[in-house]
Amino acid sequence: MGKLFLNVFWVVILTIITQIGGVIYLFSAFMYRRSVLKRWTVFIVLYLFSTFFIVPFVAPFFGREKIQMTDTVKIHMLFTSLANRNYVVPEVNTVLTNVSTKLLKLYPDVEVHCLDANFPFFDGFPLLPHISHNDGKKLDISLIYENKKGLIINDKPSVSGYGVFESPLKREYDQISVCKEKGYWQYDFPKYLTLGTVNPDLNFSEKGTKKLMQFFTQEASIAKIFIEPHIRDRMQIRHPKIRYHGCRAVRHDDHIHIQVR
């Protein structure tokens, strides 16, 4: 019973994290029931082969493709690609190309850093802990930061890109406290998902992030952009596409959420 429970545990966890990992582990466990070493060796080999050589060619049948990385569009963390959390509909890649090209003209060498996107297969399959990244149309984008000299740079304050918040100032509306007082305990849960904080000298770049958001609003295929209200107000940016995501989600003062129609 203990072995069965452990195998079920790994199937569930790997499915939640990577979508395809549970099935591959199940096959590996069936092939090598007694040897844990062989089981995990086969799993790793099959998983990596599937991730890099099979999934990218099957995903288009589900209307999705990998985020196209260029000199100006980057996946922030390797884990995102390894876990197949970097798939989007083609319209998202078009938006990324257009926006990054415009941003580069203002800030030489600046990159658009992509965080979690979607899994490669099946609409409605959740990409936890997100509640809406389930159809290929959503993508999280890192905020833009600057160094002490005020120069826009590509470094981020956390390893994952999540969890280091640009919290409300005393004079700003505090939506975070409002949601937590209403019982939405998960609202600042990303603080546990940093995977480590780095670059303590970074400052949030209002001008860089504002330009990034303005370029996103100019894209016809963009339907919604989520960011925390105090960040929106601080940057003095208003647009019908820029909306509040609600207390059921998590706070958005560590990243921008975009989605296409």
The enclosing H or E element of 145 equals strand 145-146
C-alpha span between 260 and 75 (Å, rounded):
19
- pLDDT of the residue at 1: 67
Do the beta carbons of residue 177 and residue 200 sit within 8 Å?
A: no
C-alpha span between 20 and 119 (Å, rounded):
9
What pLDDT tens digit does each residue of the chain (261 aa) get? 678 889 999 999 999 999 999 999 999 999 998 899 999 999 999 999 999 999 999 999 999 999 999 999 999 999 999 999 999 999 999 999 999 999 999 999 899 999 999 999 999 999 999 989 999 999 999 999 999 999 999 999 999 999 999 999 999 999 999 999 999 999 999 999 999 999 999 999 999 999 999 999 999 999 999 999 999 999 999 999 999 999 999 999 999 999 999
Which tens digit of pLDDT belongs to each residue from 26-62? 999 999 988 999 999 999 999 999 999 999 999 999 9
- pLDDT of the residue at 2: 74
C-alpha span between 219 and 94 (Å, rounded):
9
Q: Is 15 exposed, middle or buried (0-12, 13-18, 19+ CB in 10 A)?
A: middle
- pLDDT of the residue at 34: 87
The Cβ-side half-sphere exposure at 96, using a 13 Å CA radius, reads 31
The Cβ-side half-sphere exposure at 48, using a 13 Å CA radius, reads 6
Do the beta carbons of residue 152 and residue 142 sit within 8 Å?
A: no
Token duo for residue 241? 């596409």
Q: Which residues pair with 203 in a beta bridge?
A: 146
Do the beta carbons of residue 176 and residue 187 sit within 8 Å?
A: yes
Residue keyed to tokens 């099957």: 58
DSSP string, 71-127: SSEEES-HHHHHTT--EE-HHHHHHHHHHHHHHHHHSTT--EEE---B-SS-TT---
Which residues have a Cβ under 8 Å from the Cβ of 182 and sit 6 or more positions away?
Answer: 247
Do the beta carbons of residue 121 and residue 72 sit within 8 Å?
A: no
